[in-house]
Amino acid sequence: MNAISLFACGGIGDLGLQHAGFEVLVANELLEERAEVFKFNYPSTQMIVGDIADKQQEIIAKTRKLLAGQALDLVFATPPCQGMSKNGRGKLLNAIRKGDKAEIDTRNLLIIPTIAIFLATGAHTLVLENVSEMENTYIPNPSKNGEMIGIIDFIKQSLGAEFSSSIRVVEFADYGVPQCRQRLISIFTKHEKLKKHLQLFGSLFPMPTHSKTGQELPRWQTVRDAIAHLPSLDARQPATAKHTTIQYHSVPLLDEAKYLWVANTPPEKSAFDNQCINPSCLFDKNLTHGASKDKNGINRFNTETPLYCIKCNHLLPRPWVKEGDNYRIMKGYTSAYKRMGWDNPCSTLTRNLSYACSDNKVHPEQNRVLSLYEAMILHTITHYAFHWQRTDGKKVSDKLIRELIGESIPPAGLEKIFSHLALLSKGIPQSPKQPSFGQQELCFA
């Protein structure tokens, strides 16, 4: 089966597509350095670098040429999610009335060339991946004088009645990925076998393979399952922060203060809750940190959290800011400087995965964040032969690796979805049971 990939980045998601049996003919990505990594890993795919809106005709023409009269099966599109917001239509319209045009993030309009390309290629199935906020994101409808329309409605309207859709917020831990990552996956299809399956069973998604409770299905894969076997690292000094032979098994150093906060943080706790370390006191009932909703319902972290032991007045090993000779508690939520648990999947890996101040990013017991190698395992990239190399021979920086992980979804989970679609479209019967997803449950994090 064949496909094209829009917003392809470095091609991590495409690993799932490719291993489900799809040949990716053409890909498009805006940023050169990301496309360089893609090109190294998919030498037979035609990568078109540039803005999708400008490259629309080239993408269509190249796809048609490579198809040489054959039909295209699938378009995989993963537009940027940074512009998607929970703002409902009312809030957006109010802002527009007040002349605040900036409320419409132009990145949300990228769906327009995406749909145009999909329709022009004649593919039978479109798979879109985005954050769940996409469901509530509105754009001006180009075919109706800019009248506001929800993105999903815009897609349905543009595709017409010939297409059916199956749309879900998928928790990727339900597909055996040792990471909690929820994404909105929207499948639109005019393929007769897929439509028939959808009509009979109500979903085009495969059954989950794992569950949070572990009752009916095996329990979610955990951080322990994925990385406990790796050699220890310690972020205090260069000699212990880098493994000598395992590539990418290294971590950034923590300065003296951060190391002190992290070293005194118990499992699954935040450094903001650390207690007295004065050996002659060790008082452990100092008020812990927290957050509460203000009168507008916005979550605000406490600013009154103590930084000095109420019993001995010793400085607590909590995240602080030094102002002159004085210290104050750092502004931040309790998920910052927090150790992840061994017995859960890790929280969503973002481009900030190497910062201890980012959410739940401290190793379950060692004094450090995750190494890039551990992140690659937790993101399931190591299931595949993916090369951190660029066609121009330049080094792939650690920053680029973090971006590529943060922007993508775990390919092993995607592979299950694409394999399911491939089997259904070939008429190979799949489990008639309705998928009973745990995705309504929020992640532990």
Question: What does the binding site for ligand SAM look like in residue numbers (CB under 6 A)?
Answer: 7-10, 12-13, 28-31, 34, 51-52, 78, 80-81, 110, 404, 407-408
Other Cβ atoms within 10 Å of 83 Cβ, number: 17
CA–CA distance, 109 with 328 (Å, rounded to integer): 43
* Residue placing its CB nearer to ligand SAM in the complex, 8 or 254: 8
Which residue has 């796809």 as its token pair?
Answer: 63
For ligand SAM, the nearest residue by Cβ is 13
Minimum CB distance to ligand SAM, residue 111 (Å): 11
Minimum CB distance to ligand SAM, residue 4 (Å): 12
In whole angstroms, what separates CA 363 from the centre of its chain? 19
Helix and strand element counts for the chain (H, E): 13, 13
* Residue placing its CB nearer to ligand SAM in the complex, 15 or 307: 15
CA–CA distance, 288 with 306 (Å, rounded to integer): 8
* Residue placing its CB nearer to ligand SAM in the complex, 411 or 435: 411
Minimum CB distance to ligand SAM, residue 41 (Å): 11
* Residue placing its CB nearer to ligand SAM in the complex, 53 or 442: 53
CA nearest to 38, candidates 63, 66, 17: 17
* Residue placing its CB nearer to ligand SAM in the complex, 21 or 332: 21
* Residue placing its CB nearer to ligand SAM in the complex, 14 or 359: 14
Minimum CB distance to ligand SAM, residue 7 (Å): 3
Q: For residues 307 and 328, is the Cβ–Cβ distance under 8 A?
A: yes
Q: For residue 433, what are its two tokens?
A: 């049971």
Q: What is the DSSP string of 100-147?
A: -GGGS-GGGGGHHHHHHHHHHHT-SEEEEEE-GGGGG-EEE-TTTTT-
Which SS3 state, helix, strand or coil, does residue 339 take?
strand
To the nearest 10 degrees (0 to 180), the angle between helices 12-19 and 411-425 is 30
* Residue placing its CB nearer to ligand SAM in the complex, 2 or 5: 5
Which residue has 């003296």 as its token pair?
Answer: 256
Minimum CB distance to ligand SAM, residue 106 (Å): 9
Length of the chain: 445
Minimum CB distance to ligand SAM, residue 49 (Å): 9
Minimum CB distance to ligand SAM, residue 55 (Å): 7
